[in-house]
Amino acid sequence: MSRTEALKVAEEAGVDLVEISPNADPPVAKVVDWGKYQYQKVKEMQRNRRSNKASELKQMRFGLKIGANDLEIKLRKIRTFLTDGHKVKIMVFFKGREMAHKELGYVLIDRVIHMLEDDAILEQKPQMAGRNLSIVVRSK
């Protein structure tokens, strides 16, 4: 179809003629409502942005002397983060002379991993960084 015929068809339909691929032989054009096309494109970008936001990294900090009930409450919060699709960085922080007993931090991390094994997969091994021992978990 020639350019003038395509423009005539688009004008009769009350929509726009949009050139899709100008380098093709012959060039490819499409008859669309430009306003509607732009609106759909913007909405699709918003949906994509919303879905990308879901993979955010959340963080939960534990003290070395955390009580059993406090641990359960924090684990419940971690489970909600995981069900929302977030990754969670779990940190055990050491204060003062607790640094002399790093093995207690590893024991606590193992306990947390064991309690979360139904809901989460360990993504990063336990790692010391300064006064923090951290792991990263994601949902199954």
pTM above 0.85, yes or no: no
- Domains defined along the chain, listed by start: 3-52 (no CATH), 54-139 (3.30.110.10)
Strands (DSSP E) found in 1-131: 16-21, 28-32, 57-63, 87-93, 120-129
pLDDT digits (tens, 9 = 90+) for 65-119: 999 999 999 999 999 999 988 899 999 999 999 999 999 999 999 999 999 999 8
The pair of structure tokens assigned to 41 is 């494109």
The mean pLDDT value of the chain amounts to 89
